[in-house]
């Protein structure tokens, strides 16, 4: 699956509280939404977040929870059996939300706004109730390897003209333009299957251009082309001058206490 993502809108999952009251638009909610089961079984997922709209095709509930709470799917427990197999098509709109106002928000404000609105959608349509638990778990520290970084070290200030943030990713490569280092760490978590803590010391308000390609993890025999590529860990060091070091640290996990099937509309 290939994912194209504009980081000026939403830069993937990050550890930010789902508290819309802290944003510049505290009461924004989706006041119009349609939700239908998707029975296609084609495996493709498409998600798009506009200034005041959200559309998702073939999405599962744990993905929505992941966005709302900034927690990876593998750190979510308590889901009912149906939630692990059902897929949904969702179209939601906040009719009272001014798109021009959204455009003026910072990257963090946009992300927090999205999290709050998705959380409200989950509460309204799935009657979700949850609580979080902190657990001491294995993590990776993202550090600069010996020899220094091997990408554009100057970087550009986020939000300025020409630095809106963009990323395209598949199961064995990433292409990033004007992406902050913490966003790289957040998206690497899904490949490394472990929380990654940014300890590079690089500023979080600067975007960098990076390209990363590693060996595809597949069942059975790998292709000749894949065998020539380094592992994800080696690729980080060889291509970007970064390193993942094993450590332990507090990790936020999410426990689902209640969830109901939504009514179709």
C-alpha span between 218 and 208 (Å, rounded) = 30
Domain boundaries of the chain, sorted by first residue: 10-128, 135-250
C-alpha span between 118 and 116 (Å, rounded) = 6
Q: Are 96 and 28 in contact (CB under 8 A)?
A: yes
C-alpha span between 1 and 10 (Å, rounded) = 19
Q: Are 243 and 236 in contact (CB under 8 A)?
A: yes
* pLDDT tens, per residue, the chain with 265 residues: 333 333 333 333 333 344 433 455 778 899 999 999 999 988 788 899 888 999 999 999 999 999 999 899 999 999 999 999 999 999 999 998 988 888 888 777 888 899 999 999 999 999 999 999 999 999 999 999 999 999 987 888 877 767 777 888 877 899 998 889 998 998 899 889 999 999 999 998 899 999 999 987 655 545 666 678 999 999 999 999 999 999 999 999 999 999 999 988 8
pTM value surpassing 0.85: no
3-class state of residue 87 by DSSP: coil
User: Where on the phi/psi map is residue 167: left (φ > 0), alpha (ψ -120 to 50), or beta?
Assistant: beta
* pLDDT recorded at residue 170: 79
Q: For residue 196, what are its two tokens?
A: 């990654």
């Amino acid at each position: 699956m290939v994912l194209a993502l504009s980081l000026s809108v939403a830069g993937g999952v990050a550890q930010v509280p789902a508290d819309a009251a802290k944003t510049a638009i505290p009461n924004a909610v989706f006041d119009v939404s349609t939700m239908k089961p998707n029975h296609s079984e084609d495996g493709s997922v498409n998600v798009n977040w506009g200034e005041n709209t959200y559309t998702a095709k073939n999405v599962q509930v744990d993905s929505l929870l992941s966005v709302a709470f900034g927690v990876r799917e593998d750190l979510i427990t308590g889901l009912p059996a149906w939630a692990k197999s059902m897929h949904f098509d969702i179209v939601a709109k906040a009719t009272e939300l001014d798109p021009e106002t959204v455009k003026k928000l910072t990257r963090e404000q946009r992300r927090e706004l999205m999290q709050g609105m998705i959380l409200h959608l989950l509460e309204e349509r799935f009657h979700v109730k949850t609580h979080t638990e902190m657990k001491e778990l294995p993590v990776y520290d993202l550090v600069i390897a010996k020899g220094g970084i091997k990408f554009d070290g100057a970087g550009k200030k986020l939000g300025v003209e020409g630095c809106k943030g963009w990323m395209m990713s598949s199961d064995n490569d990433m292409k990033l333009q004007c992406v902050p280092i913490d966003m790289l760490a957040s998206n690497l978590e899904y490949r490394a299957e472990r929380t990654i803590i940014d300890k590079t010391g690089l500023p979080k308000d600067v975007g960098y251009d990076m390209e990363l390609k590693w060996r595809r993890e597949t069942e059975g025999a790998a292709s000749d082309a894949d065998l020539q590529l380094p592992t994800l860990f080696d690729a980080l060091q060889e291509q970007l001058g970064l390193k993942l070091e094993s450590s332990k640290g507090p990790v936020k996990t999410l426990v689902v206490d209640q969830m109901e099937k939504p009514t179709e509309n």
